[in-house]
Chains A and B, each alone.
Chain A
Amino acid sequence: MIRNQVALLRREFWEHRAIFFVPVIVAVLMVLTSLTGQVSIGDMEHIDIGILGATNMPDSARSAALSGLMIALSSTFVFAMWILTIFYSLDSLYAERKDRSILFWRSIPCSDFETVLSKLLTAVFVIPLVTFMVIVATHLLVLLNVTIWVDMRGGSVWHLIWSAAPFVDNWTATLVFLLALPLWLSPFIGWFLFVSAFTKRSPLLMAALPIVMLPLLEKILFDSAVFAETFFVRSVKMPLFAGLDNVEILFQEGDEFARLAEAKLSLLSLMDLGGFLINPQLWLGIIVCGLFTAAAIYVRRYRDES
């Protein structure tokens, strides 16, 4: 039932204002930082834009620099988004039990499946989409700020900024990345939903405990690190970038940086979306997420709340 699902998603958005406020607060901080930066160098009237290297660098390098700025801005959002997703998933089925409103929600003709699905969709799609929109707005505001600064010094803003910034490439890649990340991390999201559905108290602790304890116990008992590696690989090595890890890509220098420049800093060309989508690890993760979600639905449906 699409109609029910839309209503349920709207409900999540109303209940969890953080879905909107967390990225907006990050955006405000970014824009403020950018403004402060402009003010602090405002005195340096003698600075020639040429000295800053903006006018005499090749077009591709300028694009790369601007894309670098955009990535730097986006990466903070990605970090905030994942924190938000963790807290949202853990709270989504816990809050309604804690305030007893579950009795009201269950008096409405929406099945437990539909309700839990709306929470999964919020974590996997709604949060990334909202974050994406705020990122785009932040990019535009920060670049607008830079534009004002450059314009005041007589630089050609069109040439230096607006025609140079690889908007389409950067934004498309950002959107793909934001949507791919929750899919890759979906086993964690499923686990959080499940914990949120069954725990009687402190969902964060309950969720973190096995993630910390399993690798520890395994190390002590078997002196192996299967769990530790699984969790680690899952956390930081999303196979979306051909040959590069999602964490490493932000810190490339030397040869790899040259490779970025050679690719004219097309982030999309760095991505191997096809390879990502047929990666068995991705699908294994999605299956694990599905199992945990099914368990969450089962708990919500069968557990007596009295």
Chain B
Amino acid sequence: MTSLVSARNVSKSFGALHAVDDVSFDIEKGRIMGLIGPNGAGKTTLLKAMLGLTDCQGSLSVLGLDPFRQRRELMQNICFIADVAVLPRWIRVDQLLDFLESVHPRFSRSRAEELLAKTDINSKSKVRELSKGMVTQLHLSIITAIDAKLLVLDEPTIGLDIIFRKEFYGNLLNDYFDGERTIIITTHQVEEIENLLTDVMFINHGKVVLDAKMDDIPEGYVELLTSGENVAKAQQFSPIYEREVFGKKVFTFEGVDRDQLTGLGELRTPDIADLFVAKVKGGSA
């Protein structure tokens, strides 16, 4: 596997604030990586560094390029949706297609038109006349029509209702993702993208708290639902986090063999949201 993004000791500070603090990771080709962290954790700063929108310390390479210094070349192979609200409101849909056709060597107008034909978007409409959901559809359609190696989505569905969110991710998988392309995505609504991720990375206070393949999570992490005398036994295995649900204790373990916990209660693989809370809260406790 070739790594598409490679970060070694990447840092970015704003004054005394270490937005990204000595981070190292690799993202391989053909993966869908979820970048998850609380507000102000440094997700957006890290994405901006990868997109060449901000400079950073350390060594960062995206598609073999230095994103900040070779941003123009990089943008031929990267797409990003920073937020749905960023398409210029004055532009007409057909003008947008005209423009992209002229400046983007990898943009296929026919593909974009084909995708837009499936929506209610009129090519003579201005962006400001479209509903928020339609703007998202438009943005995703043009991005899908760009034959880029890497797609970066920063909170792409913020402010959208559930139907559009589901549709957005559905279209992303059906139209965009083909196993060759790579996607990096950040969102607050973790549960909604959980099933589409192949990799997950948690960020807190500018540091990577977890960097794992989704397939490896069941092996590395287990949740135990228990009560009564088993609670004390479970605590001996030093859980990374514990919480209470309906009077029962839920423990999250890292690197503890499931066999050792069998008999203490109900075992299950934590979902991403719970694991995130466990890692972030457990880590800081």
Whole-angstrom distance between the Cβ of B247 and the nearest chain A Cβ: 43
Q: Which residue of chain B is the closest to A306 with respect to CB atoms?
A: B44
Known: A4-B102, A109-B76. A14 touches B82 (CB 8 A): no
- Contact check, A111 vs B71: say whether CB atoms are below 8 A apart: yes
Whole-angstrom distance between the Cβ of B135 and the nearest chain A Cβ: 11
Residue from B75, B98, B103 with most neighbouring chain A CB atoms (10 Å): B103
User: In chain B between 86 and 117, which residues have their CB closer than 8 angstroms to a CB of chain A?
Assistant: 86-92, 95, 98-100, 102-105
- Contact check, A107 vs B82: say whether CB atoms are below 8 A apart: yes
Chain B residues whose C-beta falls within 8 Å of the C-beta of A302 in the assembled complex: 55
Chain A residues whose C-beta falls within 8 Å of the C-beta of B83 in the assembled complex: 100, 103
Q: Does B210 have its Cβ within 8 Å of any Cβ on chain A?
A: no
Interface string of A105-118 (1 = CB under 8 A from B): 11111110000000
Q: Does A99 have its Cβ within 8 Å of any Cβ on chain B?
A: yes
- Contact check, B72 vs A14: say whether CB atoms are below 8 A apart: no
- Contact check, A111 vs B87: say whether CB atoms are below 8 A apart: no
- Contact check, B88 vs A304: say whether CB atoms are below 8 A apart: no
Chain B residues whose C-beta falls within 8 Å of the C-beta of A104 in the assembled complex: 82, 86-88
* CA A166 to CA B88, docked complex, whole Å: 45
Chain B residues whose C-beta falls within 8 Å of the C-beta of A99 in the assembled complex: 88-89
Q: Does A101 have its Cβ within 8 Å of any Cβ on chain B?
A: yes
- Contact check, B103 vs A108: say whether CB atoms are below 8 A apart: yes
Q: Which residue of chain A is the closest to B105 with respect to CB atoms?
A: A109
Known: A6-B102, A14-B91, A104-B88. A109 touches B55 (CB 8 A): no
Q: Does A229 have its Cβ within 8 Å of any Cβ on chain B?
A: no
Chain A residues whose C-beta falls within 8 Å of the C-beta of B92 in the assembled complex: 14
* CA A107 to CA B75, docked complex, whole Å: 6
* CA A304 to CA B45, docked complex, whole Å: 9
- Contact check, B87 vs A110: say whether CB atoms are below 8 A apart: no
- Contact check, B90 vs A100: say whether CB atoms are below 8 A apart: no
* CA A101 to CA B87, docked complex, whole Å: 5
By size class, the interface of chain B is 20 to 34
- Contact check, B103 vs A7: say whether CB atoms are below 8 A apart: yes
- Contact check, B102 vs A15: say whether CB atoms are below 8 A apart: no
Q: Does A259 have its Cβ within 8 Å of any Cβ on chain B?
A: no
B91 CB contact (under 8 Å) in A15, A100, A107: A15
**Interface secondary structure of A, over-half rule:** helix
Q: Which residue of chain A is the closest to B106 with respect to CB atoms?
A: A109
User: In chain B between 64 and 83, which residues have their CB closer than 8 angstroms to a CB of chain A?
Assistant: 71-73, 75-76, 78-83
Q: Does A3 have its Cβ within 8 Å of any Cβ on chain B?
A: yes
User: In chain A between 23 and 77, which residues have their CB closer than 8 angstroms to a CB of chain B?
Assistant: none
* CA A305 to CA B86, docked complex, whole Å: 13
* CA A103 to CA B54, docked complex, whole Å: 12
* CA A14 to CA B89, docked complex, whole Å: 12
Q: Does B48 have its Cβ within 8 Å of any Cβ on chain A?
A: yes
Q: Which residue of chain B is the closest to A11 with respect to CB atoms?
A: B99
- Contact check, B87 vs A108: say whether CB atoms are below 8 A apart: no
- Contact check, A107 vs B79: say whether CB atoms are below 8 A apart: yes
Interface string of B215-227 (1 = CB under 8 A from A): 0000000000000
Q: Which residue of chain B is the closest to A304 with respect to CB atoms?
A: B54
- Contact check, A3 vs B103: say whether CB atoms are below 8 A apart: yes
Can you list 26 pairs linking A and B with CB atoms under 8 Å apart? A3-B102, A7-B103, A8-B103, A10-B102, A14-B95, A99-B88, A101-B87, A101-B88, A102-B86, A103-B82, A103-B83, A104-B82, A104-B87, A105-B88, A107-B80, A108-B100, A108-B103, A109-B72, A109-B73, A109-B104, A110-B72, A111-B72, A304-B54, A306-B44, A306-B45, A306-B48
Closest 3 CB pairs of A and B: A7-B102, A101-B88, A109-B75
